Each structure stands twice: as structure tokens, then as C-alpha cells.
A and B are shown apart, each in its own frame.
Chain A
Amino acid sequence: MRVTSLAGVIALGLVATVFALASSIAPAQTPADAALDARLKRLELTLRCLVCQNQTLADSDAPLAADLRREIRELAQGGKSDDDIRGFLTSRYGDFVLYDPPVQRNTFVLWFGPFALLVAGAAIWWRMGRRRARESQAADDGAAAARGRSLLES
């Protein structure tokens, strides 16, 4: 069982890390900064924090996420494009960091699967509608009678 003094030590440690991180927080800004901020925010929302694993880089409070945000900011200030930055990260951490997986061989099914399903669904809908419509004329009376029967049974 943990002892309270240990908790105190951990809390102190946390405060220390927090101060160490603080340098990565943006200071009061100019409009140009605000535009960069908005761009980075958009970008960081599509990147995955590796430590916490289920947060975006924008949302994470993990130290590594703060480091990566700093790194990304410097790259952006150095004139790198969003794609350059994505490339920088994937060359180090792999496609895993991208929440928006690129369309490539191993993601064809992922990206086109839902649209294939949508098309298949539309085809099924169309065929069902046509078939039922053909039956519609022929089986009209029969269906009504069957329905009457099932209502009687229930």
C-alpha cells in the first residue's frame, strides 16, 4: 500500500515536470501567431500521442506530446509544410502517429470499404424495391389475406 508521504513526493515530482514543460506553452500572441496556432491545432488534431495512445497530440498533456508540439512548431516556423511535418513524424514513429491514415496499399480496404458498402447497400435497396414491386401486383390479394390471417392468430 502506498504511504501518503510517497504521494507527496510524487506530487512534487509532478509539479517539477510541469515547470519543465511550461516552456512549450505559447506566450501571449500576435495575429500571425494566432494563424500559426490555428494551423498547428488543426494538424495536431490529426496526430496521435504515442504515450497516451488514445489522445490526439493537441489534447495530450503527456511530456512527449509537449516535446513533439514544440518540435512541430519549430518546423512550421522554419517554413515546413504540414506534409513535411507529417513526414518528419512518420519517419520516426511510423504511420501509427497519423490518426488520418494515408491512402496506400494497406489502407485501401479501410478507405474504400465503407463506400463499397454504401454502393452495395444502394444496389440491394434497388433490387429489393424492384422485386417487391413485381410481386406487388401479383401477390396483392394473397398478401392481404395472409396478413389478415396472421392478425387473427395473434
Chain B
Amino acid sequence: MIPELGHFALVVALLVALVQASVPMWGAARNDMALMAVARPAAMLTAALVAFAFGCLAYAFVTSDFSVLNVAEHSYSTLPTRYKFAATWGSHEGSLLLWVLMLSGWACAVAIASRNLPEAFAARVLAVMGFIAAGFLMFLLFTSNPFARLLPAALEGSDLNPLLQDPGMVVHPPMLYMGYVGFSVAFAFAIAALIGGRLDASWARWSRPWTTLAWCFLTIGIALGSAWAYYTLGWGGWWFWDPVENASFMPWLVGTALIHSLAVTEKRGTFRSWTVLLAIVAFSLSLLGTFLVRSGVLTSVHAFATDPARGVYVLAFLVVVVGGSLALFAWRAGAVGGGASFAPLSRESMLLANNILLVVAMASVLLGTLYPLILDTFDAGKISVGPPYFQAVFVPAMAPLVFLMGLGPVAAWRKAELPALWIRVRWAFGVALVTALLLPLTLGSYRPLVAFALFLALWVATSTVAMVVQRLRGAPQRGLAAKLRANSAAWYGMLVAHVGIAVFIVGVTMVRSYEVERDVRMDIDQAVRVGDYDFTFRGVVPAPGPNYKALVGTIDVSRNGRLVRTLHPQKRVFDASGQTMTEAAIATRIRGDLYVSLGEPVAENGAWGVRVYIKPFVDWIWVGAFIMALGGFIAIGDRRYRIAVKARVAALAARAAA
């Protein structure tokens, strides 16, 4: 009964979403307040209905209702409860429902937090989001019903893919989708602005916190996915340039550009049409990612079971939404106007460079991702594009960008003077340069590229420190606390996010340059030395698991004869599918990870193939990403946005009092 209720809720949600998409839009065109007023309750109702449907599906999973096809195919009776719950989004259908849940959730949040927006504008924003929700609800209901019944019911499920039975599965997809789908808000704002012809500083100010929030979630989502791959796939990689990873990374790159160009649009009124385009492109890339994962046009470790009918549907929807919005852009953007002017050396100019570099990087990733497909379409050969390519094209675009990060925030708006700029950054530049040149000497082998990358990271960090010091010194307030308070949260957020990039670069550089990897065959009590560490293999014993049988290895790690850590990597054979999973054992320290995973048994005497890795500073990669997201969250707390919220609260209170 409950699955039918969920299904019914989705049908009603579709009808409500269609109302949300059409009535307020019509009302905004006719300036009819009553019609526009439909938007908010409709958005909330859609969200409530989708949430209810999602709850129904989650209930079916948690209670192992194998009469639901989706549950029977993606769950198992002895699966731990948290994974039963996470299995709700472990299938194509369920993850699509999660997608719609996030989308309607964002629309609901906009409905609640948009009381200070002009009625017509808010109505259009919610209508656009309703249109997207309706499209995806149709996709769910017509091609991918998550509640389809299985008659007769299965006695046992065929289990969630073992790769997905991991804490990462509980947190990574919701975070990623929060980010992915969150760009729909910026998209809806952009479309509403294009339709209404209102593209000014206030539009940018309204968009900014939403965009930043979505970006934060996307950053966390990607970082979680990367960390998950690192410890679960057994070979210690953290980024593979897999098509689906790229699909999440491209919106991130454009979203990053969007955050920066929104700042210019808000502060200086410039880049308006460009900012609108970025808002459209960021969400379009999210939709493209959805298409790539679900259509099977590219091979990927993430791909869901593929079905051309689904691919055709998503593509049709993609053409309507993206094609439609880009056509609207072509039609209206010319009228937007350029905005204020600026000198070639100015903060605007550097932010323009930032945007161009990020978009070029995104375009390169897009080209590399789709190139095999394009070539195949022309019957011009079948090739693979992998990590070597992406590294070769990505780094040259990113290096100047990172260098600019040290200059942009200190440059004056409109027109900066080179001598003044140099005076402000010369210490930061000198310290970063000297340290970067010397540091690799302490790391064993000297590599110029390492020095270069470390210079970029240090430069971002030292210039940030210099900026804070100068800002505080120059502040008219008395006392450090007052001086600190004089700066906006947005400014601090920016600094924190930039420091996150520096930390991230250190992690990537160190692990790429100084990681040590050994695949060795180890007899019992045999030791192997990797770096400064001796890894002694103590054998493998079987151990039970909830829905798998584990083989647990024991490896003692010692340094200079002293035991540092005992690691227990596992090999798990799952009951339902018989699939084998490698669970690496990792000792995390600030300076990096000791990483051990079991390969295969080599002989009857208990010898195993073992992969032993030393990954210096690898955790800095994810810590850096979380610092970036933290910076975003700090920026959202900015007073200017809070003022808007306060005004809203005041208005509500006044209305309640009246």
C-alpha cells in the first residue's frame, strides 16, 4: 500500500509542479497578483509531495519490501540499516527521485526565503523551477517508476552493489545532488531576469548566496566522492577523470566562475550578460551530467543500467531546457548592456581572466570527455581520453589562475596601479618564492615542477596573510577585535576559500610527486621496506560480516624497529552477488597516509599479494576542499544577506501583528 501512496504522491506532485510552472508565469506576464501568488504554495506543496514519495520509497527499502522491484534489485535482508536507507538512491530510479527531492527542496527554500523579492520576479523563478521539476517528474513516472511492483514478491533481494555499501554512499550522493541541483536556483534567477528584463546589481545580490550555497555542497560532494574512491577502490587513486567525475567537475568549474562574476556584477554592474550565461551554463552542465550518467553514451564506473529510451527522454528535456534558455539568452542578452568600464589592470580585469581561464578549463574537460563520442559519430576511430590528457590540458589553464588569486583580491576596482600593487604583494611574493625554491631540497629529490606548484600554493597563502595584515593595519578602528569586525564575512569567506585552494595544491603536488607504491608478494612474517617504514605481513584470517564473509589481513607497520601501527585491510566476498570487494586499511597522519590493501592470495602457504603505498599529504586534498566549502559558508553569512533576511522577518512580524 505504501509504495502505491508514494507513486500517487508523485503523480499529484507532477500536476502541482505543472501548475507551479505555468500559472505564476502567466500571472507575471499579465501582472496578476493572484496568479503569481500561486507560486509559493505550489512550490511548497510539490516539495512536500516529493518528500512524502521519497519517504515511502525509503520505508520500502528500510523494511525490505521485496515486492517492490526496485527494492528487490538493490537491497538485501541482512544489509545494515544505514545502507538499506542509502540504497534508496542506489538505483537509477531512486537516485532520480533524490534528484527531484533536492530540486523541489531548493524551490521550497526559495519560496520561503524570497519574500523580499519583487512578486513578478519570484513568481518567474519558482515557475522555472517548477518546469524543471515537472520535466523530471515525468521522466520518473513515464520511464523510471521507482515504485514498480514485483509479482510475486522476491524472497530475497539481489543486494546493493558491494561498491556502494559504504558510509560514502550515505553522504556523497545527497551532497553532490544538493550542489548539482542547487545551481538550478541561479539558473532560474537568470531565466527570470532575462524574461523580466531586470538584470542589475540587485539581481546579482539575490543570486549570490544561493549560488555560493550550491557551490559549497558541490565542493563537499565531489570531495567526499574522491575520498570514498580513494579508500574503497584499493589502489589509492583519488581522481580518475572518469566521464562522470568530469560531469560533476564541469559545473563546479563554471560555478566557481559564476561566483566570481556575480561579485563583479553586484559590485560594479559589469559582466551582466556574461554572468547570466554562466548561470545558464552551470546548470546546463548539471543536466548534461545527468544525461551522461543515465544514457550510456559513455562508459563509466558510475553509469546506471542503460536504456536508450531514457537517454532520448533526458536528451529531449535537455534540448528544451538548455536550448530554450540559450535561445532566450541569444534573444535578450544583447539588450542587457555592458555596464561600467575598467582599466586593463584592475580587479575587474583579473576577475575576467579568472572567468576565461575557468571556462577554458571547463571546455577542455568537456572536449576530452566527449571527444571519443564525437570521433565515433564521424566513424573516425575509437580512442580513449584519460588522465594523461586531462592533466596536460588542465594544469596550463589553472596555473595562471592560481597565480592571479594572489593578485586579484589586492588589486583596486576599476583601475589598479602596478607600482602600488607590487608594494602590497612584494613580501608575500618573495617569501613564497624563496620558500618554494628551498622546500623541495628537504624532500629528497629536487623537482622544478614541485617547486613551481609549491610556489603557487605558498603564494596564495602568503598573499592572503599579507592582505589581512594590510587591511587590519589600515583600518581606522581601534583595537584588533574592532578592526576584525570592520570587514565583511564575504571577504573572510573569500580568504578562507583561497587558503583551501592552497592546501589542496600542496596535497596534490606532494602525493603526485612523492608517493611510493609497491605491489609485492608477501609470505607470512615477511617484511618489506617502503620509504622509512617496514611493513610486516602477519597473515590473513577469515571473519564474519553482516552480509559478507571477510578475509582480514594483519600488517604491522614499524619505523626504526618501533611498531607504529597495525593495519587490517580486508577482502570481502558478498553473500548475495559473490562479488569481491577490497577494503584498504589506512593510517592517516598529517604528513600523509600509510595505505595497505590486499591483492590476491598467491600460494597455499598463506602468502598474499599486497599493495603498500605511502601517500604523503594526501589528506590535504580533501581538507583543502572542505576549507573551500567552509569559506563559502562563511561568505553566505555576510551581513548584507542577513539584512535582507531581517527585513523579511520584520515584514512577516508586521504582517502577523496586523
* Interface set of A (CB-CB < 8 Å, partner B): 1-2, 4, 6-8, 10-11, 14-15, 18-19, 21-22, 25-29, 37, 41, 45-46, 48, 53-56, 58-59, 61, 94-101, 106-107, 109-111, 113-115, 117-118, 121-122, 124-126, 128-130, 132-133, 135-136, 139-140, 143-144, 146-147, 150-151, 153-154
Contacts and interface: CB of A to CB of B under 8 A. Distances in A.
B364 A59 contact: no
Nearest to B387: A99
Contact of B575 (A7, A99, A109, A139): A7
A59 B337 CA distance: 52
What's the dominant secondary structure at chain A's contact region? Answer: helix
A86 to B, nearest CB: 12
Nearest to A53: B299
A143 B268 CA distance: 10
Nearest to A124: B356
Contact of B269 (A121, A130, A150): A150
Contacts of A146: 269, 340
A97 B397 contact: no
A144 to B, nearest CB: 8
A136 B342 contact: yes
Given A100-B389, A110-B371, A7 B576 contact: yes
A113 B237 CA distance: 28
A1 B343 contact: no
A98 B371 contact: no
Interface string B202-246: 100100000000000000000000000000011101001011000
Given A25-B600, A95-B381, A125 B576 contact: no
B138 interface: no
B158 A28 contact: no
Contacts of A10: 577-578
B69 to A, nearest CB: 12
A45 B387 contact: yes
A92 B536 CA distance: 41
B332 interface: no
Interface in B470-525: 517-522
Interface stretch (B102-110, B321-329, B601-609): B601-609
Given A61-B600, A132-B338, 14 more contacts: A1-B155, A1-B156, A2-B577, A19-B600, A21-B600, A29-B520, A48-B386, A54-B240, A96-B384, A99-B388, A100-B388, A107-B383, A130-B344, A147-B268
A147 B269 contact: yes
9 contacts: A14-B580, A26-B521, A46-B386, A56-B387, A59-B235, A101-B384, A101-B389, A107-B371, A136-B341
Contacts of A21: 600
With a 10 A CB-CB cut-off, give which of B397, B415, B549 has the most chain A CB atoms: B397
A35 B205 CA distance: 57
A105 to B, nearest CB: 8
A7 B158 CA distance: 11
A97 B384 CA distance: 7
A41 to B, nearest CB: 7
B: interface residue count bin:
35 or more
A144 B414 CA distance: 11
Contact of B383 (A98, A135, A151): A98
B601 A19 contact: yes
Interface string B525-557: 010100000000000000000000100000000
A125 B352 contact: yes
Contacts of B375: 106
Given A41-B517, A53-B299, A150-B269, A110 B360 contact: no
A67 to B, nearest CB: 14
A51 B377 CA distance: 22
B397 A118 contact: yes
Nearest to B154: A1
Given A121-B360, A125-B352, A110 B156 contact: no
Nearest to B266: A154
Nearest to B298: A54
Contacts of B396: 114-115, 118
Nearest to A136: B341
Given A97-B384, A118-B396, A154 B200 contact: yes
With a 10 A CB-CB cut-off, give which of A15, A113, A132, A133 has the most chain B CB atoms: A132
Contact of B385 (A59, A110, A135): A110
A150 to B, nearest CB: 5
A28 B602 CA distance: 12
B158 A2 contact: yes
A18 B599 CA distance: 9
B154 to A, nearest CB: 5
A94 B382 contact: yes
B600 A106 contact: no
Contacts of B342: 129, 132-133, 136
